[in-house]
Structure 1
Amino acid sequence: MGFAFKYGYSLLCIMALLPAISYSQDYTFSRATYYGSPDCLGTPSGACGFGEYGRTVNDANVAGVSRLYKNGTGCGGCYQVRCKAPNLCTDDGVNVVVTDYGEGDKTDFILSPRAYARMAHPNMAVELIAYGVVDVEFRRIPCRYSGYNLMFKVHEHSRFPDYLAIILLYQAGQNEILAVELWQEDCKEWRGMRRAYGAVWDMPNPPKGAISLRFQVSGSAGVTYWAQAANVIPSDWKAGIAYDSTVQLS
């Protein structure tokens, strides 16, 4: 399932499972494994609803998570994951994006094969893959998408003008989206959208005309605030198109 974007983009995805074990400074100790993929990329059918974006975003360094999925709120979050296998792994590990839900054998992250291999030194990837499951430590890091604002993609299952579903893409920083609302001009009030699943929000019978959105953001410092994108989706919106919000989260 591909994305038709109004603007150009580049992609990366991750799948991760996160049962925390203990802490070392700002890292959490756990384990990670990887899932099967013929092209080493992510999956377009992930629980976050990202589709093709979730398969290839962040150069396909993506992961599925369990606890960190947070009923979909954790979708789009970024983590640094580094393995603890002696002599096999780099100090930096790999930076991944959460694009799916998954559970493994006492693991926090189920990584794309590409992301799993990138934890290793260049000549040690085969040996690391042979481990199957490896001890890791991870920490939350800001997502960075140079040149991109937060974007709203109209889900392919939307039906103009009776049903609108949107997906939030390029969610930068260490932010989580807690709620999304549409402005109802005739009633002069904000109407809440439903989190259908993952990063997908929907509403039957959306307002006619250009659509303004606001979304509740929980930042890295624990501060919750509302950000607004006026007329971000045009009156003649089409399924499969992503619209630039001009909003940059940090």
Structure 2
Amino acid sequence: MAAILQGMLASSLMILVLVGPTSAHSHGPDFKVGPWKDAHATFYGGADGSGTMGGACGYDDLVKEGYGFNTTALSSALFNDGKACGSCYEIRCAKGNKWCKPGASSSIFVTATNFCPPGGTGCCNSPNEHFDLSQPAYLQIAEYKAGIVPVQYRRVPCKKRGGVKLTITGNPYFNLVTVTNVGGAGDVTNVEVSGGKDLPWTKLSRNWGQKWETNAKLVGHDLTFKVTTSDGKTVILQKVVPQNWQFSQTYEGQNFM
């Protein structure tokens, strides 16, 4: 029901390039499942998932990027200015509610890919913890005519097929890296890049959502990326991007889980 915030940058054609890099993982406990909490849920977009692409996390084609249509927009209280993009949740319709779908699975698993802005019906106004689900996700747990239902949710590890994906757009003097399909905690908190002795480890800054920027000269280098998630775990994608890389291509390395 909440309108999608339009992406601040035009979508780029993404070509997936599998390069099979080696990876190193930091040590530490696996991401833990959080406690159940109370919230509410609505839905937006079409029954086929249309109207959910793009949005405030900087993702483009949710299917190609590994998210599919089990996705959600988060209210301000959960979105955390975009830092929660990529986090995953288990959501179930509150027990005993008449709008819970008969025979529905006990819960669904969704990834945060968008922002539910305050205003309108007030569902996403602070301090409400609210999920604006894609319609296909919502219809797995509740009836269409309900519109809004009480739910319970908990933070869970993200289980993704394939590896972490990196898409570089921009130009030789400004590089924007979109990080997608991240397992484990899912929400990226730090990105660094290295291109050998001529390009030592360089920290990228968050532009918006999960788009990370740097003015470092990346063209002409084979690139190793270091990606860290909110639980402090890091994956090092060794030479995941080859020396002859091209803008708007997508490169895939290993994942956290």
Distance across 2 between alignment mates of 1:212 and 1:6: 17
Shift of 1:233: 1.5
Q: Is residue 164 of structure 1 aligned with residue 172 of structure 2? A: no
Residue 81 of structure 1: CA displacement?
Answer: 1.1
Deviations 1:191-220 (A, max 9, x none): 11111100111112423411111122333x
The alignment status of 1:194 with 2:216, answered yes or no, reads: no
Deviation (angstroms), 1:234 = 2.0
TM-score by length of 2: 0.75
Number of the residue aligned with 2:153: 138
Cα distance between partner residues in 2 of 1:166 and 1:200 = 6
- The CA distance in 2 between the partners of 1:69 and 1:111, in whole Å, is 14
Q: How far, CA to CA, are the matches of 1:43 and 1:51 in structure 2?
A: 10
Would you say 1:185 and 2:193 are equivalent positions?
Answer: no
CA distance in 2, matches of 1:234, 1:7: 10
In the superposition, relative to structure 1, how do residues 53 and 193 fare at CA in structure 2: closer, same or farther (>3 Å)?
same
Q: Residues 116-152 of structure 1, C-alpha deviation per residue, up to 9 Å, x if partnerless?
A: 11113xxxxxxx2111111000111222123x01121
Closer/same/farther in 2, CA of residues 2 and 180 from structure 1, 3 Å limit? closer
The letter for the 1-side match of 2:163 is N
SS in 1 for 2:62: helix
The 5 A counterparts of 1:63-212 are 63-66=72-75, 67-84=77-94, 85-86=97-98, 88-89=100-101, 90=104, 92-103=106-117, 104-105=122-123, 106=128, 108-120=130-142, 128-146=143-161, 148-155=162-169, 158-159=170-171, 161-183=172-194, 185-186=196-197, 189-207=200-218, 208-212=220-224
1:44 Cα deviation after fit: 2.4
Where does structure 1 differ by over 6 angstroms across 4 or more consecutive aligned residues? none
Structure 1 stretch displaced more, 99-108 or 191-200: 99-108
The number of residues matched between the two structures is: 218
The offset of 1:88, in angstroms, is 2.8
Specify every segment of 5 or more residues in structure 2 that has no aligned partner in the other structure, as ranges: 1-10, 19-33
Question: CA 1:44/1:184 → structure 2, altered by over 3 Å: closer, same or farther?
Answer: same
Is the partner of 2:49 in helix, strand or coil?
coil
Pairwise CA distance, 1:240: 2.2
Kept in 2, the 8 Å contact 1:55–1:62? The answer is no
Alignment partner, residue 44 of structure 1:
53
User: Among the aligned pairs, what percent are the same residue?
Assistant: 23
Tell me: CA distance 1:215–1:107, structure 2 relative to 1, closer, same or farther (3 Å).
closer
User: How many Å separate the matches in 2 of 1:49 and 1:117?
Assistant: 25
Q: Is the 8 A contact 1:78 1:143 kept in 2?
A: yes
What is the identity, as a one-letter code, of the residue corresponding to 1:239? F
Work out the CA distance in 2 between the residues paired with 1:58 and 1:188: 32
Task: Answer 1 or 2: higher relative contact order, Cα 8 Å, separation at least 6.
Answer: 2
Question: TM-score normalized by structure 1?
Answer: 0.76
